[in-house]
Structure 1
């Protein structure tokens, strides 16, 4: 990974926006302060959009392993194999949905991806609960929602966040939105899921409802970002405007 990172850093040129900022010596001395002062609303929209990403990943990539082994009673190896297979499938669908977002608009893909991904938790956990221990069905319940639907969120996410900030604070903005939102979107999700499973007397439906709530928050946030892109509110301080995503209709 170190060598791959070095190759990317040394071989790929900066975008025209960043290059223009450097040529004009227009860098921000303290990007974090500038970001907080100029883009508080965009930060909230980005963190809201990130919600389903963190929640769904941790429910299906982390919590599902303990659920399958302790509640459904399959072996840990079988549970891990299902998650691993979903990750492999995801490798193909992430670029697919990223390309699709280039064609029809990032906010549109992210909006529908958030809703479909969230809704898929219900049939997935139903299949886990009623699959009769059939390993192939249990793998299917992980691979389709996690390997395919979740990629509709993760694929366009980075580019979506890029459109929230101008070049002077873009790196700081993306990093803050992604990492800080991880506190509530990712870090505490397995704890919440465990508590909801106990509250639901071993049934997963409260967990699915929580995932659905996260999906609705992210879909609304994506729609708001789409309105922002449509109005062209974010402008490059360098004088080079970023190409806006197509607004949601």
Structure 2
């Protein structure tokens, strides 16, 4: 019996369908992390500017800022819990459905924060509701990044995992620009009283539109080839968390340590610097937000460069160079940020966020490569979010305390120490560039 040859037209259609599928996967992984960082930085900006006075009006300005930064850290405590929950289902039932669920939890919590009345309206119930929703936001966020990174890397062709894994890592730049740009527009057009009364709520409510877009895209993608292969080989484990902690605790720890520098650079250069710049240096709020928008463009530029280099030379060499540069950058905080000069402050922000992009980009491929398919969603998510507890949950709080007691040079030393921690983690891990994900 003869078989009909495949016509050139059919081959072209198959290639076009494959390219369309790859583009859809890339966009689906990118849009989720963009929304994730939009949601997270919307809260971070609000914490630096208005959460203290609105929800914790009693006490000094410093006490209000510290209380706001405590609520900021709550989500980072919740994120590993979210990564355990969503990681379990992501490794058991699939990447696609789990990503849809995590996006819903994250988006709903963020949107509802925009409707919580302030302390003046409902008293102590206001900060309680805020903390509950912040915790829910962290649960959803805990399942987001790991799934998005797996979506990109498990679809990636040979030799291009760093490049494909870069697209979730571009999400922070875009999410940051969207949230900061919106806050910048509101701060520029509203009075301080209007901004405090209702203006700060607008970015939270806008999140609902972005989540709707993300859900539309994610519902149209198929399950990843690596997970399909795992199902066919019956490789799924009953309790992924137990398998992770018993057999893969060392790469989980190293991955978490490697992530510390990314978080510390980002949140000290944005949340702490914004709070310090507006309150201590008396730089106008719109001016500082505008400088952050400029600086984050350099984070976006560093991301594809670093991802390409990680495919070319390996994940470890790129991260080692990035960590060493981050150690040195801590010494620039006092002379640059502390100067109060707008060009020097902008230079500091550019340096820190460029280095954040350079160290963050390889993680999209590195963390999934550390784990087998059966625990990859759980492992990548837990490592990523444990790094968040170590590097970000208390970073603005610690920076605020250090600045009050020892000045910006102490905060710079904190950044350098965090980079040393990540350098240790990277030096101890294996090179993963040629690891097979199937």
TM-score range, shorter chain: 0.7 to 0.9
Structure with greater contact order relative to length (CA < 8 Å, sep ≥ 6): 1
Other structure's SS at 1:168 match = helix
Aligned to 2:412: 208
Distance 2:222 2:423 in 1: 33
State the shift of 1:174 in Å. Answer: 0.9
Moved over 2 A (4+): 1-13, 70-73
Residues 12 and 135 from structure 1, CA distance in 2 versus in 1: closer, same or farther, beyond 3 angstroms?
Answer: farther
Distance 2:363 2:410 in 1: 27
1:159-195 per-position Cα deviation (integer Å, ceiling 9, x unaligned): 1111211111001111111123322311111111111
Distance 2:332 2:297 in 1: 21
Distance 2:426 2:303 in 1: 18
Q: Are 1:32 and 2:241 matched, yes or no?
A: yes
State the shift of 1:118 in Å. Answer: 3.0
* Unmatched 5+ stretches in structure 1: 235-240, 244-249
RMSD of aligned residue pairs (Cα, Å): 2.2
Aligned to 1:160: 366
Paired residue for 1:144, among 351, 358, 368?
Answer: 351
Distance 1:77 1:162 in 2: 39
Superposition TM-score, scaled by structure 2 size: 0.49
CA contact (8 A) 2:259 2:360 kept: no
Residues 9 and 118 from structure 1, CA distance in 2 versus in 1: closer, same or farther, beyond 3 angstroms?
Answer: farther
State the shift of 1:18 in Å. Answer: 2.5
Paired residue for 1:14, among 224, 228, 234?
Answer: 224
CA contact (8 A) 2:333 2:412 kept: no
State the shift of 1:14 in Å. Answer: 1.4
Residues 7 and 80 from structure 1, CA distance in 2 versus in 1: closer, same or farther, beyond 3 angstroms?
Answer: same
**Aligned residues, how many?**
228
Q: Are 1:198 and 2:404 matched, yes or no?
A: yes
State the shift of 1:225 in Å. Answer: 1.3
Residues 135 and 11 from structure 1, CA distance in 2 versus in 1: closer, same or farther, beyond 3 angstroms?
Answer: same
Q: Trace 1:161-180 onto structure 2 (pairs within 5 A).
A: 161-180=367-386
Distance 2:321 2:430 in 1: 12
State the shift of 1:56 in Å. Answer: 1.3
Q: Are 1:55 and 2:264 matched, yes or no?
A: yes
State the shift of 1:6 in Å. Answer: 4.2
CA contact (8 A) 1:124 1:145 kept: no
CA contact (8 A) 2:332 2:412 kept: no
| Larger fraction in helix | 2
Q: Are 1:67 and 2:67 matched, yes or no?
A: no
Paired residue for 2:422, among 205, 218, 233?
Answer: 218
Q: Are 1:115 and 2:318 matched, yes or no?
A: no
Superposition TM-score, scaled by structure 1 size: 0.83
Aligned to 2:100: none
Q: Report the structure number with the largest CA radius of gyration.
A: 2
* Unmatched 5+ stretches in structure 2: 1-209
State the shift of 1:125 in Å. Answer: 3.4
CA contact (8 A) 2:333 2:411 kept: no
Distance 1:12 1:173 in 2: 22
